[in-house]
A = this chain, B = another copy of it.
Amino acid sequence: MENPESPATVLIVEDEPGIADILRITLKYHGFTVHTAATGRQAVIAAREHRPDLVLLDVMLPDGNGWEVCRTLRAERDDLAVIFVTARDAPRDVVGGLALGGDDYITKPFGVDEVVARVHAVLRRTRREPEAVDPVLRHGDLEMDEATYSVRRAGEPVDLTPTEYNLLRHLLRNAGRIVTKEQLLQHVWQYDTVVESTVVETYISYLRRKLDRLGPPLIETRRGIGYGLRALA
């Protein structure tokens, strides 16, 4: 995970309390120190006080748009990393945002794992942290290369759709543990996903069909609890 002796600090600038909560809880859970601000004014003040390593910046704020906030913050500290958060149906601005100094951007509604991945990626770049972690996840004869988004089992490449890939990644990251369907919905799917559907089962089924063609069953069902990767022999 993150360097334990100096947890990175993230400032969340977001006026919708629900979204701010999701981001706060998620990042806290992943070991970041988190502060929040609901307006551009507060953001500038909070940035001076807490000196974050990274800012998650909503583009639509009650007191003016995020570009200006970004510019202001950058004027004071040009090593500050910024990830813009924007509505999906405004992709036109996004490029502009990146051009104006954002290091990355995320569209709403987002999936929680996506946010964590991007925050880590940006911090790794801007803090010049060594590429310490092997980007290849392994479990038995299964390997996933996060750099190339490619998956292999027993040497054979496996072609996965984005959702399948994200689901498998979450299972791999929690190999040896059992994850509930709720957790999978929370982490892999977008935050506005409603329950009452069998999406998770469906995608587990897809994964099994593609993966178990190349070897023994890999994903284990714990009835009433959730799913996990089968323990290694």
Residues of A within 8 A of B (CB): 17-18, 21-22, 24-25, 28-29, 36, 71, 74-75, 78, 91-92, 94-96, 98-101, 103, 125-126, 147-150, 161-162, 176-178, 182, 185-186, 191-196, 222-225, 228, 231
* Contact indicator B94/A195 (Cβ below 8 Å): yes
Count of chain copies: 2
* Contact indicator B195/A177 (Cβ below 8 Å): no
* Contact indicator B228/A148 (Cβ below 8 Å): yes
Residues from chain B with a CB closer than 8 A to the CB of A162 are 223-225
Residues from chain B with a CB closer than 8 A to the CB of A74 are 17, 21
* Contact indicator A71/B186 (Cβ below 8 Å): no
* Contact indicator A78/B36 (Cβ below 8 Å): yes
Chain B proximity of A91: nearest CB distance (Å): 5
Instruction: Report 6 cross-chain contacts, Cβ distance below 8 Å, ordered by A residue.
Output: A21-B101, A25-B103, A91-B195, A95-B195, A96-B194, A99-B186
* Contact indicator B161/A148 (Cβ below 8 Å): no
A194 and B91 alpha carbons, distance in the complex (Å):
9
* Contact indicator B148/A176 (Cβ below 8 Å): yes
Chain B proximity of A56: nearest CB distance (Å): 15
Residues from chain B with a CB closer than 8 A to the CB of A78 are 24, 36
